Structure 1
Amino acid sequence: MSETLFNIVQTNDRVAPTATLHVEVIADFVCPFCFLGKRRLDKALEAVEGPSDVSWYPFQLNPEIPAEGQPFDAYLGQRFGGAANIEPILEQLAAEGRADGVRFAWDKIRHVPNTLPMHQLMQHAAGRGKDQVALADDLMSAFFEEGRNIGERDVLVDIAGRHGIRGRDMRRALDNDLLRQSAVSREAQVRSSGLNTAPGFLINRRLLVVGAQPTDNLVNAFDRAMFGEGTDSLVSPALH
Structure 2
Amino acid sequence: MRIEIFSDMVCPWCYIGKRRLSIALERTGARPELVWRAFQLDPAYPSDVTWTLTDAHLNRYGINAAEDKRRQKMTTDLAAQVGLEYRLDRAIMANTADAHRMVKHGHAHGKGTETAEALMSGFAVEGRNIGDPGDLNAIAAELGLPPLEPGAYKKEVNADLARAAQYGVHGVPSLVVDERYMLVSPDIQDLTGFLEQHTG
Is the pair's TM-score, using the shorter chain for normalization, greater than 0.5? yes
Distance 1:143 1:50, change over 3 A: closer
Of 113, 136, 143 in structure 1, the residue corresponding to residue 116 of structure 2 is 136
Paired residues of 1:70 and 1:113 also in contact (CA < 8 A) = yes
Match of 2:56 in 1: 75
SS at match of 1:43: helix
State the one-letter code of the partner of 1:95: D
Q: Is 2:193 the counterpart of 1:220?
A: yes
Q: Distance in 1 between matches of 2:49 and 2:98?
A: 11
Aligned-pair distance for 1:57? 0.7
Match of 1:122 in 2: 103
State the one-letter code of the partner of 1:74: D
Aligned-pair distance for 1:184? 1.9
SS at match of 1:158: helix
Q: Distance in 2 between matches of 1:108 and 1:70?
A: 12
Distance 1:137 1:69, change over 3 A: farther
Aligned-pair distance for 1:136? 1.1
Q: Distance in 2 between matches of 1:138 and 1:146?
A: 10
Paired residues of 1:22 and 1:53 also in contact (CA < 8 A) = yes
Q: Which runs of 4+ in 1 moved over 6 A?
A: none
TM, length-normalised to structure 1: 0.76
SS at match of 2:28: coil
Q: Is 2:33 the counterpart of 1:53?
A: yes
Distance 1:187 1:138, change over 3 A: same
Q: Is 2:187 the counterpart of 1:187?
A: no
SS at match of 2:117: helix
Q: Distance in 1 between matches of 2:24 and 2:163?
A: 27
Of 128, 134, 141 in structure 2, the residue corresponding to residue 148 of structure 1 is 128
- Over aligned residue pairs, what C-alpha RMSD do you find? 1.8
Q: Distance in 1 between matches of 2:142 and 2:198?
A: 34
Query: Alignment identity in percent?
Result: 25
State the one-letter code of the partner of 1:37: G
TM, length-normalised to structure 2: 0.90
Aligned-pair distance for 1:70? 4.2
